[in-house]
Chain A
Amino acid sequence: MKRLTRVTLALATALTLGQTLAVTRGGQLVYGRYADSLFLDPVLNDANLDIWILTNLYDTLLQPTNDGKSVQPGLASAYTVSADKKSMVLTLRPGIKFADGSAITAADVKWSLDRARNPDNGAWNGLLESIASISTQGNTVTLALKHPDPTLPSALATFNAAIMPQKLFNAAPGANDAAKAKAFAEKPVGSGPFVLSEWKRGSYMVMKRNPYYWKKGSDGKALPYLDSVRFEIIPDDNTRILKLQAGELQGAEFIPLSRVAELKSNPKLNMVLFPSTKVNDIIMNNRPKLNNGAPNPLGDVRVRQALNYAVNRDALIQLVTFGTGKVMKSFMSSATPLFDATQKGFPYDPAKAKALLAAAGYKNGVDVTALATSGSADDQALLTALQQMWGAVGVRLKIEQVDAATKTARYRAADFQMRTGAWTDDIADPSEITGYYAVSGATDAAHTGFKDDTIEKLFAQSQQETSRVKRASLYRQIQTRYANASPTIYLFETPYPVALAKNVQGFVQIPLGYNLFVGASLEK
């Protein structure tokens, strides 16, 4: 028996070894994006369009794991946190280089992190808020902290903490940091697996392999396997799919969920649904009065709960996501760290919804209005379905279509009753989505006007709690309290639909959305 196991093991090893050795090097992968990047600076960028590409050009001290739930070593091979949790020491990997061949020094690290945590810089500096000062010695970097921070490892694995070449950046033309960033971002040099070699805005972008990249492939040689990746910008969904089918692309993102089944049955393609942290919900105005002074039924928690109970999520998943979605049971996705799997969510219960509405004084029904993004087929399908479901319990839903910018302006000004909403985490930690959705803070709990003193306290505690077990317990309480107060309506989680040619191997889009081409190869 023992011998058999050993033989099997040896065989299996030989097989996997054979497979890994067979990885093909070289070639160009052409990938269709729905829109071009805007601004390739890790610190000052604003949109997912940039974030999801930056990780190929820049590297961070730590990196998110492929499941998006924890971190692994990056440019730093190790880190240690002091006993009092008030400092962190990171050791840089020996011999690491930027894509131009110059060495990455501890000074580059200090300068990059100081720039990233500068409150005058961009929208992301808050992630590194706990750092008090940074000092360097040889190849170690010491972060002195203002307070213990359990989110710091994840924050150091997030795009904005990318390490940039201080000398090259400072050599860029421009009088101040912002002007230099503009110039540098046109021809960025980082230490990621690829380096930007050509960029025709709105048309295409080419990234070539970084010959100095530190990570090794399964064949023992430096990654990446590909010579280059070319992004073609193709805004129209149909065109992107046609180009893929014609073999002009080897990969295409944002495949409409309605076409997933069709592409799955195409023998030339590999239709992948990557797990994501994307949640889709209806965000409600929780204030007792609307902007125009009219009373707001959604100010009553019973109405908000009723609306949650009156949603048949399984039906929505079939109708809107064509079976690709997953029922949401918390305001955060099940791929977010510290998601509480014991949450019950809201089972479909129209009788309970009716009773709650009656208790709130809406026996004869209630009128509500939701903002939808015009031109969005998903919003249209979703709200029409909700109209039906809520109609059955006496809720009359009016749909108001506006363009995305108007919608944003209206909800920021609290000039709305309901709106469709979606969210994707940028950092492998639950604090980002909680800070936005559940805590009043600077965003008024996703602009709902919701505030719960207990959640505020629990969240503040969780931000300094370094025991994972205790932190998980704090997050369980937050998720339960949030569900009871129902400031939003949880709907469903959706994956990232990416269609690839059959010969593409090793491409990953992680739950945080980052597109990783570092381990991708084109097999013969």
Chain B
Amino acid sequence: MHASYVLKRLLQIIPLFLAVMVLVFVLVRLIPGDPVSTLLGDRATDDIVARANKELGLDRPVIVQFGLFVLRMLHGDMGDSINLKVPVLRLIGERLPVTLFLTVYAAVLGVLMAVPLAILAAVRRNTWIDGLIRGVFQLGLSLPVFYVALQLLTLLGARLGWFPIGGYGDTFGEHLYHLFLPALTLGLNLAAVLVRTLRSSVIEVLTAEYVDFARAKGLPGRLILSRHVLRNALIGTVTLLGLNIGALIGGAVITETVFAIPGVGRLLVDAIFGRDYPVIQGLTLTFAVIVSLVFLATDLIHARLDPRIEHA
């Protein structure tokens, strides 16, 4: 793996960034409804709406607004939220760590559940254990996230009182405690995806010739599993995990609402309903960068796991 490859991939993010910038700028202005009259709702007179739009520069031609937006972005300024009247960058700075914490937590829980169970299912394939594992996760995949979230809240939160109902907490330990149920909700969904792929790739590798060879060499089963089987089976799974991190951030929108977590998912929903253009733009760009970085990281790990993958 070369540093120049990483650099090249990082540079590729720039045109993507520009494209997302133009797209989201145009798209949010194409949907009907403007921030001011949405916020003022039933009460506002046309005069008041017009005056507020003028103050915010929303009465200027879209191309001028875009120019100003790009100019500001070049100075590292995403503008101020129209509804909350604070800098978008600050809002994202406050909220993004929460969503990232939740995403990583969910990914860790998902992997911790998926890997051993997938291997178990593969090793004991076509037994009742295999059937049970696959059945449970199939169910996890077909149930909507908000439903699972509410069930977990009702049972483990309200009825048994083991976990707090929603919130985020102040310290690292509190974060772990408060976010356990939402992370579990997202993790279950992720594990359901991972178990299926990982199980079939473990089965595939288990029946490969080099595993037979290793076995013939007399290597102990556990070593075969960890050194040969898992390493090879994980290649597809890592890609899938990378792809799903993007989905996890998307899934956070619902989870954050149900569990009352102050992350960027909820910020985005509020911004879209309130037509808060600067916040929508800023968040979309942030998501684009994060997803690009995750994909890059996925490719790098992929290459690490399988040295045959060449990066020219």
Residues of A with C-beta under 8 A to B267: 202
The yes or no answer to A13 lying at the interface (CB within 8 A) is no
Q: Which of B55, B86, B153 contacts A239 (CB 8 A)?
A: B153
Q: Which residue of A lies closest to B35 (CB)?
A: A405
Residues of A with C-beta under 8 A to B275: 405
* Least Cβ–Cβ distance between B167 and chain A, in angstroms: 7
Most A-side CB within 10 Å, residue of B37, B39, B154, B260: B260
Would you call B158 and A242 a contact (CB within 8 A)?
A: yes
Would you call B84 and A201 a contact (CB within 8 A)?
A: yes
Would you call B161 and A38 a contact (CB within 8 A)?
A: no
Residues of A with C-beta under 8 A to B167: 203, 232
Would you call B45 and A236 a contact (CB within 8 A)?
A: no
Q: Which of A182, A235, A446 contacts B257 (CB 8 A)?
A: A235
Distance A274 CA – B42 CA, assembled complex (angstroms): 22
Would you call B165 and A246 a contact (CB within 8 A)?
A: yes
Distance A135 CA – B252 CA, assembled complex (angstroms): 55
The yes or no answer to A441 lying at the interface (CB within 8 A) is yes
Take A201-B91, A201-B94 as given contacts and tell me if A246 and B168 are in contact as well, using a CB distance cutoff of 8 Å.
Answer: no
Residues of B with C-beta under 8 A to A123: 40, 43-44, 48, 52
Take A39-B84, A239-B260, A242-B158 as given contacts and tell me if A47 and B39 are in contact as well, using a CB distance cutoff of 8 Å.
Answer: yes
Residues of A with C-beta under 8 A to B230: none
The yes or no answer to B83 lying at the interface (CB within 8 A) is yes
Chain A 156-193, CB-CB to B under 8 Å as 1, else 0, gives 00000000000000000000001000100110000000
Distance A243 CA – B150 CA, assembled complex (angstroms): 12
Take A202-B267, A405-B33, A409-B33 as given contacts and tell me if A442 and B46 are in contact as well, using a CB distance cutoff of 8 Å.
Answer: yes
Would you call B42 and A421 a contact (CB within 8 A)?
A: yes
Residues of A with C-beta under 8 A to B43: 123, 426, 436
Would you call A239 and B165 a contact (CB within 8 A)?
A: yes
Residues of A with C-beta under 8 A to B48: 122-123, 442
Residues of B with C-beta under 8 A to A182: 85-86
Chain A 243-275, CB-CB to B under 8 Å as 1, else 0, gives 101101000000000000000000000000000
The yes or no answer to B262 lying at the interface (CB within 8 A) is yes
Would you call B42 and A38 a contact (CB within 8 A)?
A: no
The yes or no answer to B47 lying at the interface (CB within 8 A) is yes
The yes or no answer to B38 lying at the interface (CB within 8 A) is yes
Contact count band on A? 35 or more
Would you call A232 and B260 a contact (CB within 8 A)?
A: yes
Would you call B84 and A38 a contact (CB within 8 A)?
A: yes
Distance A402 CA – B32 CA, assembled complex (angstroms): 10
Residues of B with C-beta under 8 A to A436: 42-43
Take A232-B260, A423-B42, A436-B43 as given contacts and tell me if A403 and B165 are in contact as well, using a CB distance cutoff of 8 Å.
Answer: no
Q: Which of B33, B55, B260 contacts A408 (CB 8 A)?
A: B33
Chain A 197-210, CB-CB to B under 8 Å as 1, else 0, gives 00011110000000
The yes or no answer to A46 lying at the interface (CB within 8 A) is yes
Contact count band on B? 35 or more
Q: Which residue of A lies closest to B51 (CB)?
A: A120
Residues of B with C-beta under 8 A to A409: 32-34, 37-38
Q: Which residue of B lies closest to A407 (CB)?
A: B33
Would you call B41 and A408 a contact (CB within 8 A)?
A: yes
Distance A409 CA – B85 CA, assembled complex (angstroms): 22
Q: Which residue of B lies closest to A415 (CB)?
A: B32
Residues of B with C-beta under 8 A to A318: none
* Least Cβ–Cβ distance between B302 and chain A, in angstroms: 36
* Least Cβ–Cβ distance between A435 and chain B, in angstroms: 9
Q: Which of B39, B85, B168 contacts A203 (CB 8 A)?
A: B168
The yes or no answer to A406 lying at the interface (CB within 8 A) is yes
The yes or no answer to B187 lying at the interface (CB within 8 A) is no
Residues of A with C-beta under 8 A to B199: none
Q: Which residue of A lies closest to B84 (CB)?
A: A38
Q: Which of A122, A242, A402, A442 contacts B165 (CB 8 A)?
A: A242
Distance A46 CA – B52 CA, assembled complex (angstroms): 11
Would you call A38 and B260 a contact (CB within 8 A)?
A: no
Residues of B with C-beta under 8 A to A423: 42
Chain B 258-277, CB-CB to A under 8 Å as 1, else 0, gives 11101000110010011100
The yes or no answer to A404 lying at the interface (CB within 8 A) is yes
The yes or no answer to A238 lying at the interface (CB within 8 A) is yes
Would you call B166 and A243 a contact (CB within 8 A)?
A: yes
Would you call B262 and A39 a contact (CB within 8 A)?
A: no
* Least Cβ–Cβ distance between B179 and chain A, in angstroms: 13
The yes or no answer to B251 lying at the interface (CB within 8 A) is no
The yes or no answer to A454 lying at the interface (CB within 8 A) is no
* Least Cβ–Cβ distance between B116 and chain A, in angstroms: 32
The yes or no answer to B157 lying at the interface (CB within 8 A) is yes
- Apart from A38-B39, A202-B95, what 7 extra A-B contacts exist at CB < 8 Å? A38-B83, A120-B51, A239-B260, A242-B165, A243-B260, A405-B38, A443-B44
Q: Could you show 27 A-B contacts with beta carbons less than 8 Å apart?
A: A38-B84, A38-B85, A122-B48, A123-B44, A123-B48, A123-B52, A201-B91, A202-B270, A232-B167, A233-B262, A235-B260, A236-B257, A236-B260, A239-B166, A239-B258, A242-B154, A402-B32, A404-B33, A405-B274, A406-B33, A407-B33, A412-B46, A412-B49, A436-B42, A442-B45, A442-B47, A446-B42
* Residues of B bordering A, CB below 8 Å: 31-34, 37-49, 51-52, 55, 83-86, 91, 94-95, 150, 153-154, 157-158, 161, 164-168, 257-260, 262, 266-267, 270, 273-275
Give the top 8 A-B pairs by smallest Cβ distance, nearest first.
A405-B33, A442-B45, A203-B262, A202-B262, A409-B33, A234-B260, A405-B38, A409-B32
